[in-house]
Amino acid sequence: MPQERAARARMLDEFLTWLLGRQPQCAIDPSGDSRALRKRTAWCWNIHPRIPSVTARHHTVMADGTYMDHGWCLIIAIDGETGETLDFQWCGHESKAAYTALFSRMPAPDVLVTDGLRGAETACRETWPGTRIQRCLVHVQRNTRTDLTSNPRLEAGRQLKKLSDRLTKVRDGETAVRWGEALNAWHVAWGPFINERTWAKDDPDNPKAMKRQWWWTHEDVRRCYRRLEKLFREGKLFAFLEPALTAGGPVARTTNRLEGGVNSPLKHVLLDHRGLPEEHMRRACEWVCYMRSRNPDPASLIKPEHWKPAKSAPEPDGDDDGPRSYDTGIQSNNHDDPTSEPGFYIRKGHVR
């Protein structure tokens, strides 16, 4: 009935105002009764908001995963220009299979902006073979700090960190070329340094000596350089400057739009409603994503089964003619029945 659907739509609006906003329940209910609001909108948890399938091709797509309680990870894909949510995928961790499931539900974009996890890039190569990858420069700098720390002890590390810090200041092709030349000059000066090895026989007290015969002496500096060199060589650092890609529209160089546009509000919702049961936590995250999609219409998701769930039929207990695995009756004392268990029947007389 139209009147009932309109009433349900108003209830859902109250529910979302509380779930996605900062107001307490008593401020949303007309009578100020929090319990009445919870009872009136309890059926709203049965709605599973799903974003309509993406059919249009997008110039850029950003994808990243965020981890939460109960062992869940939510991978979210958004349009790199508008910031609207395109789709999401629940998983245990950011694996190739999870990203493949997400990418396979939308047309291949021109550019994928990602934080560089192997699962995302592998899924992109296999699902969208013609899509270019732009590595988030902020994540590249974060990886550099992980390897070298914020204040490197060695001169080679200090110079390499300065190069990494300059990444976000590159705004044109000429500056990008100069950055690549500076990285090459660093390798000319420090190449022999990062190729130095330490042998286990020379440092037997090192824990690495238990499983290795040798290791790179300056392993962290070497790993950092090789990462930067590989990204530059593969065109993943400055893809946002290539004319062939920017002709279709601007290309972001970071995933900040995704971090601040979806991930941050999502974490705020979970913080405001900390302690939600697992399924309610997942519904809350899905609503955050859905309401940031193109033209969200929560009322269109309402179905009668959401407020009138079908009663589940009792599970059959095997063959009616055979013995039951459990029942409410008490076994009779039949000594002629081989299945009769002595001691489990009604007894009469005094307790001894």
pLDDT score of 334 more than 70: no
Give the torsion sign (CA, 317, 322, 325, 328): positive
Any bridge partners for residue 235, and if so which? none
pLDDT score of 331 more than 90: no
Residue linked to tokens 């900040």: 256
- pLDDT tens for residues 205-264? 889 888 999 999 999 999 999 999 999 999 999 999 999 999 999 999 999 999 999 999
Do residues 138 and 255 make contact, with C-beta atoms less than 8 angstroms apart? yes
Domain locations in the chain as residue ranges: 1-52+293-310, 54-136+254-292, 152-243
Dist CA 321 CA 335 (whole Å): 21
- pLDDT tens for residues 180-209? 999 999 999 999 999 999 999 888 988 988
30 pLDDT band (50/70/90 cuts)?
A: confident
State the chain's mean pLDDT as an integer.
90
Dist CA 231 CA 237 (whole Å): 6
**Residue type at position 204:** P
- pLDDT tens for residues 33-81? 999 999 999 999 999 999 999 999 999 999 999 999 999 999 999 999 9
pLDDT at 5: 85
Q: Can you name the CATH fold of 54-136+254-292?
A: Nucleotidyltransferase; domain 5 (3.30.420)
Any bridge partners for residue 61, and if so which? 79, 112
- The verdict on pTM exceeding 0.85 is no
Q: Which residue has the higher pLDDT, 328 or 241?
A: 241
- Nearest Cα neighbor of 236 from 174, 175, 167 is 167
Window from 85-99, 180-194, 227-241, 304-318 with minimum mean pLDDT: 304-318
pLDDT at 335: 53
Please compute the mean of the pLDDT values over residues 167-190 and round it to a whole number: 97
Please compute the mean of the pLDDT values over residues 104-128 and round it to a whole number: 95
